[in-house]
Amino acid sequence: MTAPVFVSTTIPYVNARPHLGHAFEYVQTDVYARHARSRGEQVFLSSGTDENSLKNVRAARAGGEPVRDLVDRHAAGFTALLSALGVVPDRFVRTSADADHAAGATAVWERMAARGDIYSRFYEGSYCVGCEQFLTSADLVSGCCPVHREQPVAVRERNYFFRLSRYQDEVIAALTDGRTRVTPAPRANEMLAMARAGLADISVSRSAERAGGWGIPVPGDPGQVMYVWVDALTSYVNALGGPRGGELYDRFWQGARRRVHVLGKDVARFHAVYWPAMLMSAGLPLPTDLVVHGHITSAGQKLSKTSGTVVDPVDLMDRYGAEALRYLMLADFSPWSDTDFTEPRLVARYNDDLANGLGNLVDRVTAMLHRYRGGTVPPPGTPGAPEAGLLAAATTACHASAEAFDRFEHREAVAHVWDLVRRTNAYLSEREPWRLARSAGEDAAAAAALDTVLHHAAGALATVARLIDPVLPATAGRLREVLGLRDAAHGPDGVVVTGLRVGTPPRLFPRLELSW
């Protein structure tokens, strides 16, 4: 058995309800985890919510409610979104409520302090609550944070600092020698350029007074709470019980073949520079892969809870279905670049690929099996060049889609599967089983040829069912049920489908109409 794999989403702030960008990251992470499981790998999928952020405190104050009530309410929205999308984490860490997380964050802090990497001093600077970081004048545009378009707050207080500067050379080495791979390459180059430009020590705490007493206390100093990035980033190891050890931590972090974080480009520096340096200081293994996606935009504007530019994924699923939304994001959205969402884009992609493509193929094959062979997949006759071509297409789809998923190219992986769907539809048009059926009763050769076509078409559908399982798990389950398959392990050669009893499916993908 291969070594285990750890895969994580980031943990979003809970100052407001989730938007489509969160759904995209959840589905990306889920498809990579499902793909790894389909290869027989042990996978631990982690997610959670970042509840100790100052922006959560500010949002609660603005709404006149206790911070606990706000974070509980919005955390429930994120867990509901995961469930609606069919994403089931092995652990969901709520940083304000998870005892393992608090203990683990404290343990990481104490390890860094024991190395002499934590020190206290007064600091004065401009603090962006939206970014949860201090900004320099060079970071500002017209005096404002370029991301949140708000003026930062002037802050002077005693903070604890992490000696990030001590780890500059080691971080650069990890990003260049393959220990931590940042995908795509342009993001890796950005992170290297940032590290090579010089790393200054960073603030890793804030006053408990300014935080309203909300957060994880600094060990030995209850007047300070941990800065959100030290707190939040340690949630990855704390999902496994924390660095104190234990079976899950030993298996899925210490002993993992890959430790994969899926994240947005706006938090790349924290994951590619700050987090590895903290792990180095604490003496813990580094992440092996940082998969950095772009933003989802609407009318060219980045989706943001803070700015109020939001597309509600739950509303979209209520109107169009979870599988339609999953398919759009995985088949149509770039894994790396910003993508603009529109509802017509969702409807068109669903109708073209699912209703007219895969749905039509399933209807054709199952209908012919019932019409010509009583609903049972026949053994094949002697295959010819068309069958060899279809088998080659199936083999190519299996290998190419797996290789694309290994590179985190979900859009390319889905495209390879739909190449097989189109090739199978073309195969039926080429072989014309309806023509063979007209003479099959009197012509043994035609009857054998019809069996061959129906057998190979069913085999191709079995392969499609297996390949789409990470992408559309509910659809894959329905397709396996229709084909009489008991699992998703059928290969591309089609031999195992002989004798399967095929059901009469309801239409898998009824056409969608815009529901404005």
In this structure, how many other beta carbons lie within 10 angstroms of the beta carbon of residue 172? 17
- Using CA atoms, how far residue 394 sits from 243, 381, 397, in Å, is 44, 19, 5
Closest to 511 (Cα-Cα) out of 374, 350, 388: 350
User: Contact at 8 Å (CB) between 325 and 294?
Assistant: no
H helix or E strand, kind and range, residue 293: strand 289-293
Strands (E), 352-427: none
Active-site choice (265, 295, 302, 370) = 302
Structure tokens at 513: 């109409």
369-389 burial string, b = 16+ CB within 10 Å, else e? beebbeeebbebbebeebbee
19 catalytic residue (yes or no): yes
55 catalytic residue (yes or no): no
3-state SS string for 448-461 = HHHHHHHHHHHHHH
SS3 214: coil
398 catalytic residue (yes or no): no
Q: What one-character DSSP code corresponds to residue 141? A: B
Residue with tokens 């009197």: 442
Residues 355 and 327: their CA atoms lie apart, in Å, by: 12
Residues 127 and 111: their CA atoms lie apart, in Å, by: 27
User: Contact at 8 Å (CB) between 347 and 56?
Assistant: no
In this structure, how many other beta carbons lie within 10 angstroms of the beta carbon of residue 455? 24
22 catalytic residue (yes or no): yes
User: Contact at 8 Å (CB) between 10 and 264?
Assistant: yes
Complete edge-to-edge strand list for the sheet that includes strand 43-49: 91-94, 43-49, 5-8, 258-264, 289-293, 181-183
302 catalytic residue (yes or no): yes
Structure tokens at 268: 């790349």
User: Contact at 8 Å (CB) between 244 and 265?
Assistant: no
Active-site choice (19, 35, 261, 416) = 19
128 catalytic residue (yes or no): yes
Taking the CA of residue 122 as centre, how many other CA atoms within 13 Å lie in the half-sphere pointing to its CB?
3
| Cα separation of the two ends of the chain | 50
Closest to 156 (Cα-Cα) out of 108, 126, 115, 124: 124
Active-site choice (35, 55, 131, 456) = 131
Q: What one-character DSSP code corresponds to residue 147? A: T
Residues 163 and 204: their CA atoms lie apart, in Å, by: 10
H helix or E strand, kind and range, residue 296: strand 296-298
Active-site choice (145, 261, 271, 410) = 145
Strands (E), 10-138: 43-49, 91-94, 118-128, 133-135
Active-site choice (74, 128, 398, 410) = 128
Active-site choice (305, 416, 455, 490) = 305
What are φ and ψ of residue 476, in 5° steps? -60, -40
Residues forming the active site: 19, 22, 128, 131, 145, 148, 302, 305
